[in-house]
Structure 1
Amino acid sequence: MKIGVIADDFTGASDIALTLAEAGMKTLLLAGIPEQECPDCDAAVISLKSRTAPVAEAVEQSLKACDWLTDKGAGQIVFKVCSTFDSTEAGNIGPVVEALAERLGETSVIVCPAFPENGRSVYQGHLFVGDTLLSESGMQNHPLTPMTDPDLRRVLGRQTGWPVAHVPFLTVSKGAAQVSDALAALRAMFIVDAIQDEDLHTIGTAAKGRKLLCGGSGIALGLPLNFGFQPGSPSWAGVAGKGVVLSGSCSLATRAQISTYRDLTPSLELTADDVMNGTHTAQSAADWVMAQSHDAPLVYSSADPEAVKAAQERYGRDVVAERIELLFRDLAAELVGRGIARIVSAGGETSGAVVKGIGAGTLGVGGRLAAGVPALRVDDRALAIALKSGNFGDKDFFTTAMARLAGDQ
């Protein structure tokens, strides 16, 4: 193993696994820290559910994952976070990077969540979504990790005792040597600007020999070349059978995808009230899915920010989130038990619940469904899934993903 990745949620794990696979590395996606031996690979991505966990728990899980990866030979560790830098005032990005750096003996760390292909860029230390500052992109309304400050230096500075420095675009544009020189200047976490893929390749070259990096999936674009790998397309044969779309994301992009898909397929909405009062259960929702003649109906709890806020005020933020996740976990288990062969999951928390529900261990990385979203085969079973970050994909994503999971496109 050359590169080990610790991802703080499941959609992020599949995102960076696709980046590494398309760069020519044999890549495995692991649902948590394996208890058994895994097949040989060039890169392994361990997906945790640590983004919104208590800080101490997130640090502990990440260090255990780091130890497993380095024991398997990984010479470089990437801490994969969301391309919108989802976090709270306390963490978990800063505390985890700090702990990993100390474990690995690294004194300066590149931090760059840029993903230009999906409209995420970092300029003058500020994170943009398209041409909009992060704080005006809709992420300010995220129900668990609202992002109200686009200046990543301030965001990270509130989470760590390390100095937080900046490598501006002007330096990045001059090449990898200049970036390397800037990183050697002091012990710090460095927010590094990147506005195009070329910048991420420059950063990747500058990262050669470094033990730790932090970023979105784009941070991995230039890393495989350092180990002699060349780009290639992962193969995908497809999986036939009935499918389902499960969505818990409340992002603008996912809500637009739901609106489009509802016009094409039967849909079942699980409101917070429905979930809390037991109107819908995993069994009743599974009965509804299996009764539909359409080959991939939609079950969703996604709602607009005002509805989400009202539900949180009625029941408590963490209570609502936990109950919805548990329902999706149990629903996924129920559906797979009844023969569902294809699942598209939207949203990081939802995807974590789905992966747990289906009892996934090792996921093989197949072809691209959209930028940042690969087809995944579960444990060599006749079961294919896609784990989509809330903000990823165009309005037709659900239709396209279902067809590609089946091998039809």
Structure 2
Amino acid sequence: MIAVIADDFTGAAEVGGIGLQYGLKVLIETEVTGSGDADLLIIAADTRSMSADDSVAKIEEITQKLLLLKPDFIYKKLDSVLRGNVYEELISQQKTEGKSRVLIIPANPHFKRLVKDGVYYVDGTPLAKTSFAFDPEFPLKSSRVKDILGSDPELISSLNLGEELPDAGFIVGNVESEKDLSSWAELLDDQTVYGGGAGFFEAILMKNHESQRADVEFNSSEEHHSLFIFGSTFPKTFELFKKMKMAGLMFINLSEDYFKLSDKDPSAIQEMAENVASWLGQERKVVITTIFTSSKVPAISPDRIRKEIGLLVKKIFELTKIQELYIEGGATAAQIFQKLEITSLRPVGELDYGIIEMEVDDYPGLCLVTKPGSYLWPECIIPELN
């Protein structure tokens, strides 16, 4: 059994989708239970938005429990642009496993995300000059991986393939191609903790498994009650919004004014849930967004927004049956699952790279699809465009 610790839920689902494509039986859990049957066990730790101290303690606890299951190895799934407590969490895992070094490969050539000579580029642009620089939780002001990791640069090595690896320490591998990913995967040994993006994990799987990737036919049903939650703080794809509106989907935006009202009037969220349920009852598909019109940074914290969305979705589920639930953003997904008491999921299909369809035992008949905030939705989620 292979184990993965993912720092957010959509990252966990993304790795799960890769596992499916290589014929593995995949299980995603929010806590290590030891009760599931899986070739690939993924723990969605939701540590990216925690404080460094809390995330370190959480990773230590999860690693200890996973070691009792005797996995072949434990992979640490990171945000591909290194947001979160990446260095601290990996050092915690390294110490818990008793290994001598850490090697991470965050680059993902599939999305033109490369690391050259220790500098991160997205489609040829230095990371700090992309929209990731404006992330409200993790604004990336440097493109150098050593700076992004936030530790003493002297403790981190940025190396090219072919350079000698130190016997101990923290190493970031430079990657400019898919071939580079495969070459780094050939260096696996039992004294190193491995982490990185989905691309590196797939390169590791390719060593011992044959790809069974095939096109998945997915068609959203016009008759289903479908709820879309666009909770990611990454800039929205307004072109998709335009197409969804043209297809007749109903949009409800949780604006600054809504949150101000909700703070004063606790019944506001119940009224909002009833409005959504009413639209769903009229065979309308509903999209919930959190777009703020103010040019200034909103006073409402991302954590506050996520918790409100989680509670709102819970109330909607109490009022009507949802057949299709689409969630954008890992931290948003974690809040929704917590409110719905979802602790275990099984990926069943990959709509597109990183966009995963899952089943939940506690909600039979529910089609659940998640997507990382910075990825694009495929148009197959809009039934009228199929």
Which one-letter code corresponds to 1:200 in the other structure?
L
Provide the C-alpha distance between the structure 2 equivalents of 1:300 and 1:51, rounded to a whole number of angstroms: 22
Letter in 2 for 1:66: T
- Residue aligning to 1:290: 277
Counterpart secondary structure, 1:206: coil
The answer to whether the 8 Å contact 1:248/1:346 transfers is yes
State the SS of the aligned residue for 1:310: coil
1:250-265 equivalence runs, <5 A: 250-264=233-247, 265=249
Do the aligned partners of 2:219 and 2:380 also contact (CA within 8 Å) in 1?
no
Aligned partner of 1:120 in structure 2 is 113
For residues 230 and 268 of structure 2, the distance between their equivalents in structure 1, rounded to whole angstroms, comes to: 15
The question of 1:165 aligning with 2:157 is answered: yes
Cα separation, partners in 2 of 1:204 and 1:339, compared to 1, 3 Å = same
1:232 aligns with 2:229: no
* CA separation of 1:402 and 1:73: change in aligned 2, threshold 3 A: farther
What's the counterpart of residue 54 of structure 2?
Answer: 57
Once the two structures are superposed, what CA deviation does each residue of 1:27-46 show, in whole Å capped at 9, x if it has no partner? Answer: 1111x214x44321111111
Q: Which amino acid aligns with 2:133?
A: Q
**Superimposed CA distance per residue, residues 259-311 of structure 1 (whole angstroms, 9 cap, x where no aligned partner):** 4433432101111331232278442232222222354221100347x64x432
Residue 384 (structure 2) pairs with residue 401 (structure 1): no
Match for residue 26 of structure 2? 27
Work out whether 1:109 is the aligned partner of 2:102: yes
* Equivalent residues, number: 375
Which sections of structure 1, spanning at least 5 residues, go unmatched? 172-177
CA contact 1:118–1:371 (8 Å) conserved in 2? no
Deviates more, 1:159-168 or 1:44-53: 159-168
1:171-192 superposed Cα distances (whole Å, 9 cap, x missing partner): 2xxxxxx46xx22x34221111
Match for residue 66 of structure 2? 69
- 1:21 is aligned with what amino acid? L
Task: Check if 1:343 corresponds to 2:330.
Answer: no
CA contact (8 A) 1:365 1:377 kept: yes
Map 1:262-273; keep pairs closer than 5 Å. Answer: 262-264=245-247, 265-273=249-257
Q: Is residue 296–residue 402 contact of structure 1 (8 Å, CA) maintained in 2?
A: no
1:12 counterpart = 2:11: yes
Structure 2 gap ranges (5+): none
Alpha-carbon contact 2:10-2:372 (below 8 Å) kept: yes
Percent identical among aligned pairs is: 19
The letter for the 2-side match of 1:341 is Q
**Residues 33, 68 of structure 1: 8 Å contact kept:** no
Return the alpha-carbon distance in structure 2 between the equivalents of residues 236 and 66 of structure 1. Answer: 37
Verify: 1:385 aligned to 2:368, yes or no: yes
Cα displacement string for residues 89-140 of structure 1 (whole angstroms, at most 9, x for unaligned residues) = xxx1111111111111222211121122223222211222222211111011
Q: Is the 8 A contact 2:147 2:153 kept in 1?
A: no
The answer to whether the 8 A contact 1:328-1:350 is kept is yes
Cα 1:302–1:385 shift into 2, 3 Å = farther
Check 1:256–1:106 CA distance in 2 against 1; reply closer, same or farther (3 A cut): farther
Residues 294 and 133 of structure 1: CA distance in aligned 2, closer, same or farther (over 3 Å): farther
Q: Is the 8 A contact 2:103 2:192 kept in 1?
A: no
Please point out which of 232, 243, 247 is paired with 2:226.
243
- Kindly provide the amino acid, as one letter, of the partner of residue 99 in structure 2: E
Q: 1:212 to 1:243 in 2, by over 3 A?
A: same
Given the two structures, how large is their TM-score scaled by the length of structure 1? 0.83
Q: 1:7: how far off?
A: 0.9
Q: Does the 8 Å CA contact 2:220/2:382 hold for their aligned counterparts?
A: no
Runs of 4+ in 1 over 6 A off after TM superposition: 234-240
Q: Which amino acid aligns with 1:96?
A: E
1:311 is paired with a residue whose SS is coil
CA distance in 2, matches of 1:38, 1:100: 22
1:150 pairs with 123, 140, 143, which one? 143
2: CA distance, partners of 1:203 / 1:253 = 34
Among 319, 323, 338, the alignment partner of 2:304 is 323
Which string of whole-angstrom CA distances, capped at 9 and with x for unpartnered residues, describes residues 3-44 of structure 1? 2111111111111221222223221111x214x443211111
